[in-house]
Chain A
Amino acid sequence: MNMRSLKTSLPVFGWLLLADVRFIWKDFFANLIDAATWPFFIIFINGYVITAMGMPENYGAFTSVSMVIIMGAYNAWAASIAIATDLCGPKNISYELTLPIPYWMVWIKNGLYLAIKSAVFNSLPLLLGKIILGNRFDLSNFSLLKFFVLYTVACLFFGMFALWSTVITKTAESHSRLELRLIGPMFFLNGWASSWATMAAVSPALGFFVRCLPWIYAYEGARASVLGQQGYLNVWLCVGMLLIFTALIMWSSIRLFKKRMDCI
């Protein structure tokens, strides 16, 4: 692909993305309610009820940060179902593949759309956590820069990961099965409920296994940027690892997409 073609394709990429992103604003309030409901109850229970059973008082704050990550991942995944269904059925994506833009840009555009969908509402649990937990949520170590960078990279990873899932599954049903059997357990195993240091202390083998997977870096990086670095993996290490995983998954996803759609 020459530079002239690339220059022609970039505005098309932008317009296609804008056409998709407008969909997010269309249901703004419904999406806002969705993003608030589940975190509200989990933060409340983990902040007041679970702590009454002997967990540290900051467990609610810990959970609030976990919710930012899991809601981001979940929203990207949920939005990807439409893409998985399209690839298995009507292949409406064909229209975009005949526009003056290379196939890989169309595919990345879809991943970016999922990332934006994941990012727009899912920092809400932080605000909710502060409102629900008050002084139990200490934000004195909060770094806006670190959180912004980590959150952006994490959402990009979730978007590209959700996109990758659509191209490795042959039917919409197998996409759901993948979520139930693998992705769901992985989200939780990889640090939703506990820090990496705790898991590694319980079992070094578990600690090693978890470090080989991407989600732990999203959880740990978010906690380090919101709650402070102590006790968590270094936030810049987490950003770097997430970028590496994102690049790998994007590369794999583009190759699989080309093979599956047999596109030019």
Chain B
Amino acid sequence: MLKIKNITKMFGDYSALKDVSLDINPCEIVSLLGVNGAGKTTLSSIVASLHPPTSGDVLFDDVSIYNDIIAYRRNLGFCAQSQNLALHMTVREHLVFAGRYFSMKPHAIEHRVQELIELFDLHKYIDASPAILSGGYKQRLLIARSIVHKPKLVILDEPTVALDPHIRRQLWDIIKGLKAQGVSVLLTTHYLDEAEILSDRICLLHAGRVQLIDTPQALMSSYNKGRLEDVFIQLINEQTPESSADAQAMARQGRDYL
């Protein structure tokens, strides 16, 4: 469905992505992992059509997205890391306006909003400002807003960062539910356990390059490790000394390595 072909992104002399290629298939969850500065956010921003690549192409259904970026965006849902909700609008208004932005008919919006309120358990807050929502509910609203128009591809940029463990697990169920609804997901995450549980495939980026792409199970068995975290640390240890030090420091802090 989505083909990222030989993407390079330069910021001045700095090369944030180098010849990155990746396919995302229908109904697939692909996680982007990597240390800080690996290029995860740059890649997801390019797929979200926020920034152009310096070279390379992104194909959606075998057509370059740059031929008609507006048409591509109609198939796209984007959930940024920052909780960019308008405080003067209610939860319902966020969802209704999201439908309007994608030219949905009023009755279709009404039906879809009701569906999402049920799915994301937003009843209690439907006429409230997002200002009173907890971090977990804000994140639910952001994800709900990104899928009002039933996109084929959703980009989730660290959707569970800084949330309590039980809220993270609730959101995992929601993300798995997206796949069940036929949506492909490009997930950027800092949490290896999250990537292990949610992903069909994992794309590990290092210094702007794709280091490997595979299923979590295949990665663990080929490195003979029981957890993705151990695979990740071994891979980082094989890299530069400073990256290795970073990885070990983060591993000491807990499971939330990047």
A binding-site residues for B, Cβ under 8 Å: 1-2, 5, 8-9, 11-12, 15-16, 19, 22-23, 26, 90-92, 94-95, 97-102, 261-264
Question: What is the minimal beta-carbon distance from B103 to any residue of chain A, in angstroms?
Answer: 6
**Interchain CB contact under 8 A, A95 and B78:** yes
If A102-B70, A263-B50 touch, whether A26 touches B103 (CB-CB below 8 Å) is no
If A2-B68, A95-B84, A264-B49 touch, whether A15 touches B100 (CB-CB below 8 Å) is yes
**Which residues on B sit within 8 Å (CB–CB) of A15?**
97, 100-101
B contact residues, total (Cβ < 8 Å): 26
Question: What is the minimal beta-carbon distance from B121 to any residue of chain A, in angstroms?
Answer: 23
**Which residues on B sit within 8 Å (CB–CB) of A262?**
51-52
**Which residues on A sit within 8 Å (CB–CB) of B68?**
2, 5
- Which residues of chain B from 28 to 73 have any CB-CB distance to chain A below 8 Å in the complex? 48-52, 66, 68-71, 73
**Interchain CB contact under 8 A, B82 and A91:** yes
**Interchain CB contact under 8 A, A94 and B84:** yes
A-B contact pairs, 20 of them (CB 8 A): A5-B68, A5-B70, A8-B70, A8-B74, A9-B70, A16-B101, A22-B88, A23-B88, A90-B84, A92-B80, A94-B78, A94-B80, A95-B84, A97-B49, A100-B103, A261-B50, A262-B51, A262-B52, A264-B49, A264-B50
B89 contacts the other chain (CB 8 A): yes
**Which residues on B sit within 8 Å (CB–CB) of A98?**
48-50, 73, 76, 78
**Interchain CB contact under 8 A, B82 and A100:** no
Bound state CA distance, A15 and B101, in angstroms?
7
B binding-site residues for A, Cβ under 8 Å: 48-52, 66, 68-71, 73-74, 76, 78, 80, 82, 84, 86, 88-89, 93, 97, 100-103
Excluding A8-B70, A8-B74, 7 further A-B contacts by CB distance (< 8 Å) are A91-B82, A95-B84, A98-B50, A98-B76, A101-B101, A262-B52, A264-B52
**Interchain CB contact under 8 A, A90 and B82:** yes
Partner of B71, one of A5, A23, A92, A95: A5
**B75 — nearest CB in chain A belongs to which residue?**
A100
**Which residues on A sit within 8 Å (CB–CB) of B70?**
1, 5, 8-9, 100-102
Bound state CA distance, A262 and B54, in angstroms?
11
Q: Which 4 A-B pairs have the closest CB atoms?
A: A92-B84, A5-B70, A98-B78, A90-B82
**Interchain CB contact under 8 A, A264 and B51:** yes
**Which residues on B sit within 8 Å (CB–CB) of A1?**
70
**Which residues on A sit within 8 Å (CB–CB) of B103?**
8, 11-12, 100
**Which residues on B sit within 8 Å (CB–CB) of A263?**
50-51
**B100 — nearest CB in chain A belongs to which residue?**
A15
Greatest chain B CB density within 10 A among A90, A94, A95 is at A95
**Interchain CB contact under 8 A, B88 and A26:** yes
Greatest chain A CB density within 10 A among B86, B97, B101 is at B101
**B85 — nearest CB in chain A belongs to which residue?**
A92
**Interchain CB contact under 8 A, B50 and A94:** yes
If A5-B68, A263-B50, A264-B69 touch, whether A19 touches B97 (CB-CB below 8 Å) is yes
Question: What is the minimal beta-carbon distance from A27 to any residue of chain B, in angstroms?
Answer: 9
**Which residues on A sit within 8 Å (CB–CB) of B101?**
12, 15-16, 99-101
Bound state CA distance, A97 and B69, in angstroms?
11
**Which residues on B sit within 8 Å (CB–CB) of A264?**
49-52, 66, 69
**Interchain CB contact under 8 A, B80 and A95:** yes
Question: What is the minimal beta-carbon distance from A109 to any residue of chain B, in angstroms?
Answer: 12
**Interchain CB contact under 8 A, B74 and A100:** yes
**A6 — nearest CB in chain B belongs to which residue?**
B70
**B67 — nearest CB in chain A belongs to which residue?**
A2
Bound state CA distance, A11 and B80, in angstroms?
23
Partner of B50, one of A5, A92, A97: A97
**A9 — nearest CB in chain B belongs to which residue?**
B70
**A22 — nearest CB in chain B belongs to which residue?**
B88
**Which residues on B sit within 8 Å (CB–CB) of A91?**
82
**Which residues on B sit within 8 Å (CB–CB) of A95?**
78, 80, 84
Question: What is the minimal beta-carbon distance from A197 to any residue of chain B, in angstroms?
Answer: 44
